[in-house]
Chain A
């Protein structure tokens, strides 16, 4: 199972308006914890075994995005607020 998705993308980023949420596919292990917490913001790509952010991540509550990032087992999620403040830095 490749760590990158079928398009060969390592860093999945969502956010034009609102927060910018990134998941590093090299670090994500597809635990699905983020999807369980915020299904409107994250989705599992089973073929690659990783989570990716959805468009809903950009407008999801910031505190829940940070909680998802903090609880990510491998620190794969990075959350940046609209004003550029890094709310949670990942390991990627």
Chain B
């Protein structure tokens, strides 16, 4: 069994109760109490840790998600890579948009994670995407239909991933850190990525990182998280746009292709309607009261993100895909799709950018040049501008390996005439 016996099971559905649960320090993500050697494929990684070690790890890793680094990626690095890759990927009459999304997303996820890959080599990117697919099944093991098969597959993948990518990357970075220690290198000359940050602070006992296996699993977690959500959200955004146009709302695709601020709202609305993790689970580590409901220690709490994201807090007709919807107060446009509280996705601003000023303004919105729209908005505009159109019939194939209904295995689109500019500005 992956999950221990629980005192009780509680499912939360309102936005406020779900948010309160995610922000509670008494709800843990730790479920699998078996040790690493007994088969816990996620032992010791930040996303399942709880308490002081989790916070220490996040302090180190959050340094890689600062606004200056996000701007470097979104405004300088990604546009050219995106354009070059789309030249290779959008060819012929029909393409699998799922594969395009995962490939695009894997490039910057690899760089941010600290893997030294050939960024314009489709064969190399395909190998990375294959690892991401396996790690994604591992991340969703609680929803898996065959957890033991997933466990075995992930173990095998960790070994190959370490040998082919992590060990070479680690050795290179350890060399750079040694030069820094000798005074032969400045701090700015280091690689700026998660792996470097972990290695730089590895001797800090609060991080609990002395085991090489934990480094591999942590790197795999960031690669998977950085790739999978972005790739799936690209497909879901395009699917929702095509569905809305087919349902009698013309002009949405054109507007998305032309207007980046609107494209960002499309992405946020997509995340709200189609969260890549529809249900979030937590285990209570103390007696708590959530949403006025007393929940004893040792309970399983299920946060129904899909229902919470369609709460009246999101305005009129909350089930409808409406990128222009008005949302009052401090409710994020993407709802709880990036989680919340201590375990909120650290890459949410990579994917979704900064909150739009009409949602809940921040200092980063003060200047249009400084505003970040998020990489998925760039990806959506990139593929739409290349002229993709719906393929008649059953174009999409859902990933049925888990219960997470918002995930795709394939999504076929036709390539038509380019819209607006052919390259993302």
A70 interface residue (CB < 8 Å to B):
yes
Which of A13-21, A30-38, A53-61, A77-85 is near enough to bind chain B?
A30-38
5 A-B interface contacts by CB (under 8 A): A1-B206, A3-B56, A26-B55, A49-B60, A91-B25
Q: Is the CB of A73 within 8 A of B344?
A: yes
- Contact indicator per residue, chain B 316-341, by CB within 8 Å of chain A (1) or not (0): 00000000000000100000000011
CB neighbors of A among B53-81 (8 A): 55-56, 58-60, 62-63, 65-67
Task: Select from chain A the residue with minimum beta-carbon distance to B60.
Answer: A1
Task: Select from chain B the residue with minimum beta-carbon distance to A71.
Answer: B330
In the A-B complex, list the 9 residue pairs whose CB atoms are closest, starting with the nearest: A49-B59, A29-B58, A36-B362, A30-B62, A74-B342, A30-B59, A1-B201, A91-B25, A29-B55
Q: What is the size category of the interface that chain A forms with chain B?
A: 20 to 34
Q: Is the CB of B204 within 8 A of A1?
A: yes
Most chain B beta-carbon contacts within 10 A, residue among A36, A39, A50, A73? A73
B residues in contact with A75, CB < 8 Å: 23, 25, 341
Q: Is the CB of A30 within 8 A of B363?
A: no
Q: Is the CB of A31 within 8 A of B62?
A: yes
Name A's interface SS: loop
Complex-state Cα separation, A71 to B360, whole angstroms: 12
Task: A30-B62, A73-B340 are known; give 10 further A-B pairs, CB within 8 A.
Answer: A1-B206, A2-B204, A3-B56, A3-B206, A27-B55, A29-B342, A30-B58, A32-B67, A36-B67, A46-B63
B residues in contact with A46, CB < 8 Å: 63
A67 interface residue (CB < 8 Å to B):
yes
Complex-state Cα separation, A44 to B342, whole angstroms: 17
CB distance from B263 to the nearest CB of A (A): 21
Complex-state Cα separation, A87 to B346, whole angstroms: 27
Complex-state Cα separation, A50 to B413, whole angstroms: 46
A residues in contact with B25, CB < 8 Å: 74-75, 91
Partner among B63, B67, B330, B363 whose Cβ is within 8 Å of the Cβ of A49: B63
- Contact indicator per residue, chain B 338-361, by CB within 8 Å of chain A (1) or not (0): 001111101000000010000010
Q: Is the CB of A36 within 8 A of B59?
A: no
B residues in contact with A1, CB < 8 Å: 56, 59-60, 201, 204, 206-207
